[in-house]
Amino acid sequence: MTRLPSDVLERPDATTRPLSLEDAGLREPAPVTRTLSGLPPRPAWVEIDLGRFRRNFQLIDRDKPTGLQLLSVVKDEAYGHGAFQIGKAALASGAAWLGLSTLQEAVSLRERGIRAPILLLGDREAEELPWCVAHDLTCCLSEPGSIDWLNQLALRAGRKVPVHVKINTGMNRYGVHWKQAGALAARLAEAKGLRLEGVLSHFAQSDEADKSFARLQLARFRESLEALRATGMPTGCRHLCNSGGFLDLSEAHFDMVRLGILPLGVYPSSVCRRIPGIQSVMTVKARVAGIQQLEAGDSVGYGMRYTAASPRRIAVLPIGYGDGFPRVRNQGFALIGGRRAPLVGGVAMDALTVDITDIPSARLWDEAVLMGRQGEEEISVHEVAKLKNSVSYDVLTSWRARLPRVYLDEEARA
Ligand SMILES: *Cc1c(COP(=O)(O)O)cnc(C)c1O
């Protein structure tokens, strides 16, 4: 980028002044909301209701046993909601920890001033470890090589670096095999620069009705905790549960739970326990950018995937698969005027079309909802997930960065 458009707008030099609407013989539409770069906002966006997020967190806080610590998982931009904003709101609502996946995500939060404990989930490459020490990022360790290297780094820095040991109890991704946890702990006990601050494992299946594998993982976790204790080391903070485990497996809560999707107001599955009052935080919106009147026999969009059987009124929404909307055809809905408008034709990169024949009140630039609530109607994350044959986690994280995030915060405004 050479120069910010706002610099250009603010320069008094008349010769370089951009053409105004008056110059073009148009009147300025009022009021004009300016984004940071000075551009008008895009007529398609993602709304994040931070007030709702805080309320969800309070409901979870009231639901949980006292003393149970909360780690707020804000990886992948807090599942598309914004790691900084959600992380800050979580810490203000009682979370003791933040959890992230990549070094880049974690350093970016540190650079924006977040000082709270951050746990990096997953394993780190050797060259990442010095950065973790420098930025106070807590690592999950599961193999002797990283114990030795992190220990050297800690001793060199003259610090006692806290670590969490990750145990593989059946997920078979990261972690030391539960039968080898004792041996790893013995190695850790010799590492004078490190301090065992926590022990964790991760469920492969916690949100489905059948909890038998989760219970097997729990038993293996308990067994490895015993082996750790046998080495004489205090295990510190023990944590096993994600949202599904928190909701349905109270016997597996231990000292802390790691919650990602639940405080965002989305349940990990359709069968897990409900906490009354939890509401989804994200709403995806667009404005009606075009209205077409079709005659019988007219088709819509690429490939002529929809042909009107009778006169129809069609609204064009300026959002498409390039924004993360599933690339479906003649399937799904948008909400306009609090009613369901069925999708017609195929979804394009930048646009999709809906039938508004039954919503005669619909006008150009009206607000439409692609995911979320409008009036009495709601298109849930799970409904969108069905369209792409996937799960809620995938839908939340699929909304692309080019859709601006607009944060609502009633409490802060009041
Ligand atoms: C993503 C993740 C979580 C959070 O899972 P949710 O189902 O979103 O609550 C917890 N723990 C680990 C290790 C994770 O990777």
Closest ligand 1 atom to residue 393 Cα is: 8
What span, in angstroms and rounded, lies between the C-alpha atoms of 333 and 341? 5
Closest ligand 1 atom to residue 206 Cα is: 7
For a pocket test of ligand 1, which of 203, 257, 258 has the largest count of ligand atoms closer than 8 A to its C-beta? 258
Protein residue whose Cα sits closest to atom 8 of ligand 1:
260
Q: What confidence tens digit (pLDDT) does each residue in 79-121 have?
A: 999 999 999 999 999 999 999 999 999 999 999 999 999 999 9
Beta bridge partners, 80, equal none
For a pocket test of ligand 1, which of 74, 121, 173, 396 has the largest count of ligand atoms closer than 8 A to its C-beta? 121
Protein residue whose Cα sits closest to atom 3 of ligand 1:
242
Choose among 239, 68, 101: nearest CA to 169: 239
Residue 397 carries which side chain, given as an amino acid letter?
A: T
115 CA distance to ligand 1 middle (Å) = 21
Q: What confidence tens digit (pLDDT) does each residue in 305-363 have?
A: 999 999 999 999 999 999 999 999 999 999 999 999 999 999 999 999 999 999 999 99
321 CA distance to ligand 1 middle (Å) = 26
140 CA distance to ligand 1 middle (Å) = 14
* Residues labelled catalytic: 75, 302
For a pocket test of ligand 1, which of 237, 242, 395 has the largest count of ligand atoms closer than 8 A to its C-beta? 242
The residues near 26 (Cβ < 8 Å, ≥ 6 apart) are none
Closest ligand 1 atom to residue 200 Cα is: 13
Indicate the pTM of the whole model: 0.90
249 CA distance to ligand 1 middle (Å) = 15
The three state secondary structure string of the chain is: CCCCHHHHHHCCCHHHCCCCCCCCCCCCCCCCCCCCCCCCCCCEEEEEEHHHHHHHHHHHHHHCCCCCEEEEECHHHHHHCCHHHHHHHHHHCCCCEEEECCHHHHHHHHHCCCCCCEEECCCCCHHHHHHHHHCCEEEEECCHHHHHHHHHHHHHHCCCEEEEEEEECCCCCCCEEHHHHHHHHHHHHHCCCEEEEEEECCCCCCCCCCCHHHHHHHHHHHHHHHHHHHCCCCCCEEEEECHHHHHHCHHHCCCEEEECCHHHCCCCCCCCCCCCCCCCCEEEEEECCEEEEECCCCEECHHHCEECCCCEEEEEECCCHHHCCCCCECCCEEEECCEEEEEECECCCCCEEEECCCCCCCCCCCEEEEEEEECCEEECHHHHHHHCCCCHHHHHHHCCCCCCEEEECHHHHC
For ligand 1, residues with CB inside 6 Å are 73, 75, 121, 202, 242-244, 258-262, 268
Do 258 and 372 touch, CB atoms closer than 8 A? Answer: no
What span, in angstroms and rounded, lies between the C-alpha atoms of 169 and 175? 8
**C-alpha dist (Å) from residue 354 to 306, 310, 345, 348, 400:** 11, 15, 8, 12, 21
What span, in angstroms and rounded, lies between the C-alpha atoms of 338 and 324? 23
What span, in angstroms and rounded, lies between the C-alpha atoms of 245 and 253? 8
121 CA distance to ligand 1 middle (Å) = 9
What span, in angstroms and rounded, lies between the C-alpha atoms of 243 and 249? 10
Closest ligand 1 atom to residue 101 Cα is: 15
Q: What confidence tens digit (pLDDT) does each residue in 110-135 have?
A: 999 999 999 999 999 999 999 999 99
141 CA distance to ligand 1 middle (Å) = 17
Per-residue pLDDT of the chain (414 residues; tens, 9 = 90+): 333 334 333 333 434 444 555 555 555 555 555 556 788 899 999 999 999 999 999 999 999 999 999 999 999 999 999 999 999 999 999 999 999 999 999 999 999 999 999 999 999 999 999 999 999 999 999 999 999 999 999 999 999 999 999 999 999 999 999 999 999 999 999 999 999 999 999 999 999 999 999 999 999 999 999 999 999 989 999 999 999 999 999 999 999 999 999 999 999 999 999 999 999 999 999 999 999 999 999 999 999 999 999 999 999 999 999 999 999 999 999 999 999 999 999 999 999 999 999 999 999 999 999 999 999 999 999 999 999 999 999 999 999 999 999 999 976 554
242 CA distance to ligand 1 middle (Å) = 5
Protein residue whose Cα sits closest to atom 10 of ligand 1:
242
